[in-house]
Structure 1
């Protein structure tokens, strides 16, 4: 466990990262350490090359205090967002500013060797010509991850990935510490860092509805992963309306099997083939396939069958989310993923069902919103945030601060639950 000195250093770093124009008097007020202790810790962080002066702040009568900032150019971060059908890789500085990205459609079922080789190639292209070293890597995958080990565990839509050593492979490849998490957790982290309403909500549920369905739980502003990392995996809970529908996980009646993107595409195709939906029939004739976004397009054009399908999907989601709202009582429920494109057709129904079925006290001040981050960058944003939060967490900081170089110890500590953004 990190000692008091390391905890103070991590707290000061966190405060400097979170704000602009931070001064030592501000740190004394915000962190609660004495002036002499703050001065010592600031000097230590400056000597390690992690922070630097950034002009002067307003004077309260004496000498104007120095502003402090992170030395964002000291190192680079890699973010890798692996979704069911898409790969996004980005490089960022230590301030979290994304400097470049690469993106391509994939099939995660092609397996880790194919997908990770492409991710490594994209990373090499993004790093080409840059002189700063890679300090940390954050990775998101569309399945359950044991956070302590970074290993995917029986991921339903990721054949060949079970127990694959993603962390070890990328740590050896880039000579930097690597953290791996479920992609929905990373989307929630991205929301926390980029949306003021989410950052101040305290208790939040982030629910991604796309090809799969998953949730992330935020408690007191921190991501809660549960005992092993499986908290929030709601896509494979059984619901009465699921009947005997077979899910990709092998069970029957899962929420994802009847309300996820695959189900929406399947039902949309049936509407097209039966000619119940003229708009979807036209799309099928033109493209040979029906995707979830095609159902949304048809509904937007006024197609009644497509609108009814989205309405049924929203009711199914709303019923499950009402249970979660009653159970957890969050301040904020954020919907992300492909469902955001259908916001006008699904959000009113989801809200109505939640308010009708959840406890009145749980919904009295509940805010239900869609994510403000574009789907294509929300996972990448979260991957960068994960790398930053864990890199500067007390348990990790203690392993590399003396050398000033986290690449000298590429593997993360055995358990990094002390991160200020995670539990």
Structure 2
């Protein structure tokens, strides 16, 4: 349990991180601590090089108060977003601003040796490019499936057996010499959403629809990601869909939402529409490329292809029904539609809204907002991975080690056993 001192330091630092124009009197109002305590905490953070002065704020009759800001130039953090078929690695300053990114096409079924090897290569290139060797502070990683948060290892996944319990955290920590945190990429996309979307940032209870290897949802309760006992909270991909008992899922069961409405379902059913000539647009794509991807279905729908539109509408209807269950259980004030689904928002959002409002309790939907993600899905995961790395680094549990390292001029290399000694 962190002491009151470190809880106060984290609260003050968090308020400074989240504001571009804050003074010490404003901090007193925001964090609920006395003026002398806030002054002490600010002084400690300045001595550690985490906070610096940034001019003066408006005077209210006496001496103008100093503006304070995070010393974002003091260090760097790495982030990695591992999706089903794409990898994004980025480096950011301590404010979370992305400085450079690298993209690479991957196939997550190739396994951790190949994929994490690519993460290591791209991250090393970025460290070299920005000169972060001596000022790298932490690394956040998003995985396309459930993660055992305490250990940072991918949870057992029948569809991706090579990934189960792979020591990603230990491997990357040893390679880069910084604390590493790993989580489900849908959770991290939700963190990214809360960073860039003012509506999401104000929400205390949010559901974020995303996707990794399958459909997934992040649940935010009281402003914090709710992961559950085993990192599985929000995993709607294997919720059973009534009337779909004959549809096999890659998990070994039948009738799962992923099997009838997820990425694999769009690929399978889109290909069938192409092969049977029910969708002229998809038939042309199949003839040209030999494959059908979810984005091909979305693009065909955008060109007015009736069969592609019907397929997306059917998927959206089933997704909306499953989200209605989460709305009834968790009673959010906001549902954000992100991930791959957000790219088809013009064809799916209305159907998702309709099913949630139809099936969820009226008291739960009275003031519920259902909105598309506010930013480019290509950077949602990597933005969240960086925010995750910073949030953990500056949390009350880990801030003491950061301050100790800063006061001693050492590198931040060991937090809670996340980095080998």
Bin the TM-score by the shorter chain: over 0.9
Shift of 1:378: 0.3
Residue 309 of structure 1 corresponds to 311
Residue 367 of structure 1 corresponds to 369
8 Å CA contact retained: 1:236, 1:256: yes
Query: What is the distance in 1 between the residues matched to 2:338 and 2:44?
Result: 41
Residue 165 of structure 1 corresponds to 167
Shift of 1:408: 4.4
Runs of 4+ in 1 over 6 A off after TM superposition: none
Alignment match of 2:194 (pick from 173, 192, 195): 192
Residue 91 of structure 1 corresponds to 91
Where 1:275 maps in the other structure, the secondary structure is: coil
Shift of 1:91: 0.2
Residue 379 of structure 2 corresponds to 377
Query: What is the distance in 2 between the residues matched to 1:382 and 1:157?
Result: 25
Which residues of structure 2 form unaligned runs of 5+? none
Residue 413 (str. 1) matches residue 402 (str. 2): no
Shift of 1:33: 1.4
Residue 28 of structure 2 corresponds to 28
Residue 41 of structure 2 corresponds to 41
- Say if 1:28 and 1:210 are closer, same or farther in 2 by CA, change over 3 A: closer
- Listed as ranges, the matches of 1:338-417 within 5 Å are 338-404=340-406, 408=411, 410-413=413-416
Residue 137 of structure 2 corresponds to 135
Query: What is the distance in 1 between the residues matched to 2:235 and 2:413?
Result: 29
Where 2:192 maps in the other structure, the secondary structure is: helix
Alignment match of 2:205 (pick from 203, 219, 227): 203
8 Å CA contact retained: 1:151, 1:167: yes
Residue 148 of structure 1 corresponds to 150
Where 2:228 maps in the other structure, the secondary structure is: coil
Where 1:241 maps in the other structure, the secondary structure is: coil
| Count of aligned pairs between the two proteins | 415
Shift of 1:158: 2.9
Query: What is the distance in 2 between the residues matched to 1:211 and 1:397?
Result: 33
8 Å CA contact retained: 2:327, 2:360: yes
8 Å CA contact retained: 2:239, 2:322: no
8 Å CA contact retained: 1:178, 1:411: no
- Say if 1:360 and 1:328 are closer, same or farther in 2 by CA, change over 3 A: same
Give the alignment's TM-score, normalised by structure 2.
0.95
Alignment match of 1:295 (pick from 294, 297, 300): 297
Shift of 1:413: 2.2
Residue 72 of structure 1 corresponds to 72
Residue by residue over 1:13-52, the C-alpha shift from the partner in whole angstroms, topping out at 9 and shown as x without a partner, is 0011010221111111111211111111111111111111
8 Å CA contact retained: 1:184, 1:207: yes
8 Å CA contact retained: 1:135, 1:406: no
Shift of 1:184: 0.3
Q: What CA RMSD, in Å, does the superposition of the two structures yield over aligned residues?
A: 1.6
- Say if 1:407 and 1:155 are closer, same or farther in 2 by CA, change over 3 A: farther
Residue 324 of structure 1 corresponds to 326
Residue 123 of structure 2 corresponds to 123
Query: What is the distance in 2 between the residues matched to 1:410 and 1:142?
Result: 26
Where 1:54 maps in the other structure, the secondary structure is: strand
Residue 81 of structure 2 corresponds to 81
Shift of 1:410: 3.0
Residue by residue over 1:135-189, the C-alpha shift from the partner in whole angstroms, topping out at 9 and shown as x without a partner, is 0100000111011110111134433111111111111111111100001000000
Shift of 1:228: 2.8
Query: What is the distance in 2 between the residues matched to 1:39 and 1:319?
Result: 51
Query: What is the distance in 1 between the residues matched to 2:55 and 2:399?
Result: 27
- Listed as ranges, the matches of 1:184-263 within 5 Å are 184-209=186-211, 212-263=214-265
Residue 8 of structure 2 corresponds to 8
Query: What is the distance in 1 between the residues matched to 2:78 and 2:129?
Result: 15
Greater mean alpha carbon deviation, residues 151-160 or residues 48-57:
151-160
Shift of 1:411: 4.2
Query: What is the distance in 2 between the residues matched to 1:311 and 1:170?
Result: 41
Residue 176 of structure 1 corresponds to 178
Shift of 1:406: 9.8
Residue by residue over 1:60-103, the C-alpha shift from the partner in whole angstroms, topping out at 9 and shown as x without a partner, is 11111111111111110000000111000000000101000000
Query: What is the distance in 2 between the residues matched to 1:89 and 1:159?
Result: 24
Shift of 1:291: 1.1
8 Å CA contact retained: 1:214, 1:235: yes
